Structure 1
């Protein structure tokens, strides 16, 4: 197969994925037909089956693309395995995800919000595989920053406290009215600085608490 032919195939696949993401974000998966997607992508209907093995495969690809838009697994793994100081790893992670989360008028967040409020079997499958691997990488970074073993029982709440604000940013970047809507107006650098200050202080406090408990028990 020639390079030109492969490029055409990649372009067609990308057009289908983009059209599907936009339509599903607007109308939901059940209310979006393959015909609508093909028309929006300006491709033949059969191209969906060819590139994604059918409707289910396409939706799985949409979910994966939506998640990758915010957290790229390859780049995350490179960050985890780098020799950078743990706090710098966390800051780079925050910078990457915050810059994506404050983007306006993109379908990725809307698809993600739909799944959060009404989870499908596809999301369960994704979280058990791709999502689980990304979670392990983020947990490793937070483990290094906190100075706690990855299997330490105190680490999981630390991961929750560190990541949870990022999910709130997804909600503030939608048309859903919330008391914290104006957070999306704050500059990304300021948000990253706040998240770092808040997270580092919390992780330090947890570490000190665990050291005190260990000292009392020894």
Structure 2
């Protein structure tokens, strides 16, 4: 069948119809776009509390975040520290500093491996704290101050102090601090300077002041310092001496505790009287 020839006029007519159809489509799309924009604007006007768009977020100033509160310390922190100190003191007293490890201390205490570093900073610092605690077990600074302060005869106060020291030597259950102090005296460690500054020196100042009043001399006088040494060192020797040795060598000593205290006080006071008399004679 022969094909009908397409004329120029026919082609033009089809182009015009296509153009009109395309224009109609564009017009409809434009109207829909305008309607959509108007709908969105209406919604924003009806909902004033709606969240602003991203490009408007900077218009509202964001309030600063409150700083996080510091974490409160655990209520059992002090108890855990003291428990570690007690266990460590027992191990140090029995085995010495060189043979006691942080692992053994934590295992015996039932605490995590990092407990020694957390509470004390290091094993060396723990040993230093144990020495200070050992010295406190002998006599605390508060107790010593209470015995020496207030009104009263200085000689009576010194008797009370000596009685306290000697009385500890007759105790059947000596704390671990006594053995630890004995170890430290026989084999001084690098912690000795810290022990002197933190525990010994404050108590020595109290005793020097009391002894100065007893001898009626300046506490810085060599005579007063020697008198403190002659009085305190025998007391310490009695306190830290092994009980087995005392029982084997001097069995009668521990049989009458009151007599031991009374005789020691007489011995010391008579010696102090002789020292004071000699000092006055030299003047």
Map of 2:96 onto structure 1:
28
State the partner residue of 2:233: 164
How far the C-alpha of 1:124 sits from its partner, in A, is 2.4
> How many residues are matched?
212
TM-score, normalization: structure 1? 0.86
- The structure-2 alpha-carbon separation of the partners of 1:154 and 1:186, relative to structure 1 and needing over 3 Å to count, comes to farther
Within a 5 Å distance, the mapping from 1:4-23 to structure 2 comes to 5-6=74-75, 8-23=76-91
Q: 1:43 Cα deviation (Å)?
A: 1.2
174 and 85 in structure 1: CA distance in 2 versus 1, 3 angstrom threshold: same
Q: Is residue 118 of structure 2 the alignment partner of residue 118 of structure 1?
A: no
1:17 CA drift (Å): 0.9
Which residue in 1 is equivalent to 2:196?
127
2:93–2:176 contact (8 Å) kept in structure 1: yes
CA offset at residue 57 of structure 1? 1.6
Q: Secondary structure at the match of 1:195?
A: helix
Distance 2:77 2:165 in 1: 30
Separation (CA, whole Å) in 1 of partners of 2:218 and 2:259: 30
Ranked by relative contact order (alpha carbons within 8 Å, sequence separation 6 or more), the top structure is: 1
> Which of 138, 141, 144 lines up with 1:70 in the alignment?
138
3-state SS of 2:218 partner: coil
Q: For 1:183 and 1:132, how far apart are their aligned partners in 2?
A: 35
What is the aligned partner in structure 1 of residue 209 from structure 2? 140
Task: Name the structure 2 match of 1:98.
Answer: 166
Distance 1:105 1:158 in 2: 27
Corresponding residue SS for 1:154: helix
Consecutive unaligned residues in structure 1, runs of 5 or more: none
How far does residue 116 in structure 1 lie from its aligned partner after superposition?
0.4
Write the distance in 2 (CA, Å) between the matches of 1:99 and 1:76: 14
Deviation of the 1:189 alpha carbon: 2.6
- Greater per-residue helix proportion: 1
Distance in 2, Cα, partners of 1:168 & 1:93:
15
Choose which of 210, 213, 216 in structure 1 pairs with 2:282.
213
**Paired residues of 1:67 and 1:108 also in contact (CA < 8 A):** yes
Cα deviation, 1:4-60, whole Å, max 9, x if unaligned, reads x42x22221121111101111111111011111011111112222221122122111
Range that drifts further, 58-67 or 181-190: 181-190
TM norm structure 2: 0.68
| More divergent stretch after superposition (130-139 vs 24-33) | 130-139
CA distance in 2, matches of 1:112, 1:183: 26
Q: Which residue of 2 aligns with 1:51?
A: 119
* Distance in structure 1 (CA, Å) of the matches to 2:272 and 2:102: 47
Q: Where does the alignment leave 5 or more consecutive residues of structure 2 unmatched?
A: 1-70
The equivalent of 1:197 in structure 2 is 266
Q: Which of 114-123 and 44-53 deviates more?
A: 44-53
Query: Partners in 2 of 1:53 and 1:37 — Cα distance?
Result: 14
